[in-house]
Structures are given as C-alpha cells and as structure tokens.
Structure 1
Amino acid sequence: MRKEDCFYVGTIVNKFSFKGELLVKLDTDEPETFLEMESVFIAIGKKLVPFFISSSQLHKSMLLRVKFEDVEDEAAAEALLKKELYLPLSFLPPLEGNKFYYHEVIGFKMIDEVHGDIGIIEYINDSTSQVLFEVQKGDRQLLIPLNDHFIKKVDRENKEIHVATPEGLVELYLS
C-alpha cells in the first residue's frame, strides 16, 4: 500500500497501559467513525505496515484507545509512539453537495463568478493558519482561501469548483 492511496487517520501519542495499549490522536471531527476499524496501516520508516486491531474505544473525546494484535507489552508499544496511522482512500464515505475531501478536488478547474476560469487546483495547503487552494493559471500561482462562504458549487461531474472570491483577490495575481 502506498501513502498516496491512503488518508491520514491520526498519530499514536501515548502508551495507555503496560499491556501494549496505545492512545491515538485522531484527525477528525467524528471520532466515533473510527471505532469499527479492523486494521490500519502504520507508517514505519518509508513503508506502511498493516496492524490488526483487537479492540478500540474512545478515550476523552478525540483520543482512540487501541489494542493492536501482537503488541503485548510496553516495549512493543513504545516502538510505535509518534507513528502515523493511515487507511485506504476507499474507506472514506462519499461526500455530497459542497463538501469535499482535499485530495478529491486536485485537478479540478476553479471557476470564479466574476473572472471565469482562474486555473487548476494543484494542491490544498493546510499547513498555514488559513487553508489555501493553490491554483495554477499558466505560469502564475493563485492562493485562494478555502472558505465555505467563497465556495458556491462543487461540480464533481465536470471537475469544477465554482467560487465567489473577494473583490480584488484574483486581480492581485492576474493583473
């Protein structure tokens, strides 16, 4: 399994018991959706290694308490601290309307209601305080805030996102 074919679930942040249980900080608004997982991939070095889950339960809202098969003691659990968990993209439920997964809209055309076609979404940068669409128009890159108020329509069939950008933003890049 390749990381490109997966989505990030969370990171193992702490040991829970001397029997090998671990706490995972989940990257989700709905942690209960991860209670039924049978297995996950853990990033070890440059590889994704499958681990089977023998039990899991929510712990203090955003943490998942997990017991992996074959992780029987503190030393085995210690080796997994700070490791990231992944699941295949096929596990994501389909979204409808104007909701979307970041990976889903890469390659979509961005259509502004005033300026028309303003380019192709190349990347979504979520490492800044404001999540940004990185849109390529010819040799220029536009940085458009990912804001629910700007997004008017996600057209999956035609691979387009229709937006209403703030006045002056597109001109800043294309003039």
Structure 2
Amino acid sequence: MRKEECFYVGTIVNKFSFKGELLVKLDTDEPELFLEMESVFIEIGKNLVPFFIEHSQLHKSLLLRVKFEDVDDEPMADSLMKRELYLPLDVLPKLEGTQFYYHEVIGFEMIDTEYGSVGTITGVNDTTSQALFEVDHDGSEVLIPINDEFIEELDRDKKTITVTTPEGLIDLYISE
C-alpha cells in the first residue's frame, strides 16, 4: 500500500499498559467511526506496514486505546511510539453535497461567484485555527478560508468548487 492511496488516521502518542496497549490520538471529529477497524497501516521508515487489531476502545476524548496482534510487551510498544497510522482511501464513507475531504478537492478549480475562476486548489492548510484552501492563480498563492458559508457548490464531476468570498478578499492576493 502506498501512502498516496491512504489517509492519515492519527499518531501513537503513549503506552497504556505493560501488555503492549497503545493510545492513538485520532485526527477526526468522529472518533467512534474508528472503533470497528480490523487493521491499520503504520508508517515505519518509508513503508506502510499492516497491523491487525485485537481490540480497541475510546479513551477520553480523541484517544483510541488499541491492542495490536503480536505487540505484547513494553519494548514492542516502545518501537511503535510516535508512529503515524493510515487507512486506505476506499474505506472513507462517500460524502455528498458540499461536504468533502481535504484530499478530495486538490486539483479542483475554484470559482468565485463575483470574481470568476480563481485558480486550482493545490492544497489545504489545516495547521492554522482556520483551515485554508491554497489556490494557485497563475503562479501566485491565494488563501481562501474553508467556511461552509462561503461554499456555494461542489461539482465532483466537473472538479469545481464555487464559492462566494467576502468582498475584497481575492483582490488582496491578485492585482490586475
């Protein structure tokens, strides 16, 4: 399995017991979706290695307590600390309407209802308090906040997102 064919689930952040149980900090708003996983891929070096799950349960808010098969003691658990977990993209539920996964819209054309074509979405920056579309406009980067109120239409067939941005936002980046 290649990393490009997967999505990031979370990171192993701590050991839970001396029997090899681990705590995973999930990158999700809905941690209960990850309770039924049978296996995950763990990034070790440059490879994604499959690990099968014996059992898991939610632990506090966004932590998942996991027991992997063949990880039965502290040294084995230590070897997995700070590793990232991934799942194949095809296990994600399909979204409809204007809901989307960040990875899904990369390469889409962004169209503003007033401005017209803004450019191609090259990425999403979710490291800030407000997630941002990163849009390439003829070599210049335009940052558009990801806000449900801005998104008018998402056309998966045409690979376009139509937005209505606040007046003057696009002009901050683009001078004609």
TM-score (structure 1 length as normaliser): 0.96
Q: Does 1:20 align with 2:45?
A: no
- Give ranges in structure 2 of 5+ residues lacking alignment: none
- The alignment partner of 1:20 has SS state of coil
Other-structure match for 2:152: 152
Aligned to 1:92: 92
Q: 1:46 — aligned with what?
A: 46
**Pairs within 5 Å for 1:7-156:** 7-156=7-156
Distance in 1 of aligned mates of 2:61 and 2:174: 45
Q: Percent identity of the aligned residues?
A: 71
Structure 1: distance between partners of 2:10 and 2:127: 16
Name the CA distance, whole Å, in 1 between partners of 2:5 and 2:160.
22
Q: Is it true that 1:169 corresponds to 2:169 in the alignment?
A: yes
Cα deviation for residue 44 of structure 1 reads 1.1
Aligned Cα RMSD in Å?
Answer: 1.0
Residues 139-172 of structure 1 show CA distances to partners (whole Å, capped at 9, x for unaligned) of 2221111111111111112111010111111112
Task: Find the aligned partners of 2:153 and 2:106 in 1 and give their Cα distance.
Answer: 15
CA distance, structure 2, for counterparts of residue 55 and residue 147 of structure 1: 37
Match of 1:155, as an amino acid? Answer: D
Question: Structure 1: 5+ residue runs without aligned partners?
Answer: none
Q: Displacement, 1:37?
A: 0.6
Query: What do residues 47-81 of structure 1 show as CA deviations (whole Å, max 9, x unaligned)?
Result: 11110111111111321111100101111011111
What is the alpha-carbon distance in structure 1 between the residues aligned to residue 73 and residue 172 of structure 2?
A: 57
Q: Distance in 2 between matches of 1:39 and 1:7?
A: 14
Partner AA of 1:172 in structure 2: L
The alignment partner of 2:93 has SS state of coil
Aligned residues: 175
Q: Which runs of 4+ in 1 moved over 3 A?
A: none
